[in-house]
Amino acid sequence: MGEAAVSEAPARRSRGTRRDNAAKPLGVPYIVRGIPTYDVLSEENLQKVERTADRILAEVGIEFRDDPAVLDHWKRAGAKVEGVLVRFEPGMLREIVSSAPAEFTQYARNPVNNVQIGGKNVVFSPAYGSPFVMDLDKGRRYGTLEDFRNFIKLAQSSPWLHHSGGTICEPVDIPVNKRHLDMVYSHIRYSDRPFMGSITAEERAEDSIDMARILFGADFVDRNCVILGNVNVNSPLVWDGTMTKSLRAYARANQAAVIVPFILGGAMGPVTNAGAIAQSFAETLAGCALTQLERKGAPVIFGNFLSSMSLRSGSPTFGTPEPAIGSMVVGQLARRLNLPLRCAGNFSNSKLPDGQAMQEGLMSMLSAVHCGANFILHSAGFLDGLLSMSYEKFVMDADVCGALHSYLAGVTVDDNALALDAFLEVGPGHHFLGCDHTMRNYQTAFWDSTLSDNEPFEKWSEEGGSTDMATRANRQWKKTLAEYKAPPLDEGIDEALCDYMERKKRSMADAWY
């Protein structure tokens, strides 16, 4: 059972933050879960889903477009290739992915921030990919490099996120063909946590990895994972050449691709959960196998992103119950492959950091945590159906990530926690406020949110200004940005990175689409 793992949690852990304490609270580099995963499907039904995935792969197949090298890989591996359509005998892809590691380390430039991906480990990473940003003061507008850097700084300042993420928002003030350089540089410059590189073109993936080589050294990068690339299937059942070329670039460099189908049930997949899960499994399995054909033993993360749609309006919906419970099944399937899992994070289609935003977000986020996801992209910031990063939601979600540190620790059972001495001391009818056991334990006992208001109504309305959580979040992100200090970076490395960027930028004309 999972709770045994509590004792394995890194010693650096320190729960509770204090609003009145200026010292930066310390989190942990990643969570080691103390509770088991939530398995909802029986062995018999899991096998039915797997057999359906096998039949999709064998009878329908997957198209791999615009990347002939992939078709060569599949031919050599024994798949049936007709044009761009590839079909797979049952068991073939499972055999191929068995060479991928079940768990691996992603290194950070500050080694205390290295994360362990796989097994019982959970890594929270910010949201990824929105063109817009929003806050309560200025509303919604296109993201800029300044916004991008602000979110890196907010993530770096939070003790409850473990990863700097990738395209936290699109910096649309930088040309499309050059912005990956600024993004990777900004992650390195303003954070000392692990990060992700570009996947929008093979050469941008290569640039991202080259910059990681400048930071870590080429030999180290060839032997260790230092950068992730998040590649999407073009569901249903199509892999585009842009994605497979990037996927192969990461695998070739021994870096981890994260393989993610984005299935809106009813559009890119069936409206029934079991079918969407089987499809997702088939698509991801093929992508994971491809990394192993490119470089056997390369790390890879089995990804998942189920969602539903409103069949009245055609709008995508997020944080709804069907994907939340469906993700539990995806978790069970990924563990049977012995691969690290990425799952649904903190999503909402709300356009404000309101009740809808937090309800849908938590439904989705708890699902990721329960299903056993090891790498939770989109842990903080998303609103507006993935189209906007919200400054307020970002810090509200980071606070939820803090609560989840306590939640995932589970229930410790030992003599101190069982507290028999306290009952013998206090006895019936007396309070525990001043007893020895309370004095020994209260500082670490309970998660202490920095954004929830727990004051009595009168104090909240008279002294607190009757604020809602979003208003308090607005104050918090501004204060955090004002107090941010960049982690030190070796000047020689900084110069080398800037030189690389300048040289690359000079070699290209600006492209804006």
Closer residue to its own copies (CB): 233 or 339: 233
DSSP-based three-state secondary structure for 32: strand
Q: Which tokens sit at 481? A: 């940005």
Backbone φ and ψ for 194, nearest 5 degrees, come out as -65, 160
Q: Which of 360, 372, 375, 398 binds its own copies (CB under 8 A)?
A: 360
Comparing CB distances to its own copies, the nearer of 29 and 265 is 265
Smaller CB separation from its own copies, 465 or 488: 465
Among positions 66-125, residues that touch its own copies (CB under 8 A) are 85
Q: Which helix (H) or strand (E) holds 231?
A: strand 227-233
Q: Which of residues 251-310 bind its own copies (CB under 8 A)?
A: 265-279, 308-310
Total number of residues binding its own copies (CB under 8 A)?
137
Q: Which residues within the stretch 156-185 sit at the binding site for its own copies (CB under 8 A)? A: none
- Does position 234 interact with its own copies (CB under 8 A)? The reply is yes
Residue 7 near its own copies by CB under 8 A: no
Which CB sits closer to its own copies, 98 or 443? Answer: 443
CB 229 within 8 A of CB 184: no
- Window contacting its own copies (CB under 8 A); options: 58-66, 91-99, 217-225, 289-297: 58-66
Segment contacting its own copies by CB under 8 A, of 71-79, 292-300, 348-356, 483-491: 348-356
Which positions from 36 through 55 interact with its own copies, judged by CB under 8 A? 36, 38-43, 45, 48-49, 52, 55
Q: How far is the CB of 431 from its own copies (least distance, A)?
A: 5
And the tokens for 51?
Answer: 């057999």
The values of phi and psi at residue 442, to 5°, are -70, -30
**Closest among 388, 307, 513 to 129, alpha carbons compared:** 388
Tell me the C-alpha distance between 179 and 500, whole Å.
Answer: 13
The residues pairing with 235 across neighbouring beta strands, listed in sequence order, are none
Which range, of 106-114, 221-229, 350-358, 501-509, touches its own copies by CB under 8 A?
350-358
Find the binding residues for its own copies in span 189-208 (CB under 8 A): none
Of the two residues 68 and 297, which places its CB atom closer to its own copies in the complex?
A: 68
CA atoms within 13 A on the CB side of 3: 6
CB of 284 to its own copies, least distance (A): 15
Q: Distance (Å, rounded) from C-alpha 432 to C-alpha 441?
A: 11
3-state secondary structure 325-337: HHHHHHHHHHHHH
Residue written as token pair 């028999």: 420
Q: How near is the Cβ of 494 to its own copies at its closest, in Å?
A: 38
For residues 393-452, which are near its own copies according to CB under 8 A?
396, 400, 403-404, 406-407, 409-414, 416-420, 422-424, 426-433, 437-438, 441-443, 445-449, 451-452
14 binds its own copies (CB under 8 A): no
Judge whether 204 and 243 are in contact, CB under 8 Å: no
Helix (H) or strand (E) holding 105: strand 103-106
**Structure tokens belonging to residue 220:** 């180290």
Closest contact distance (angstroms) between CB of 20 and its own copies is 8
Q: What is the DSSP letter of 24?
A: P
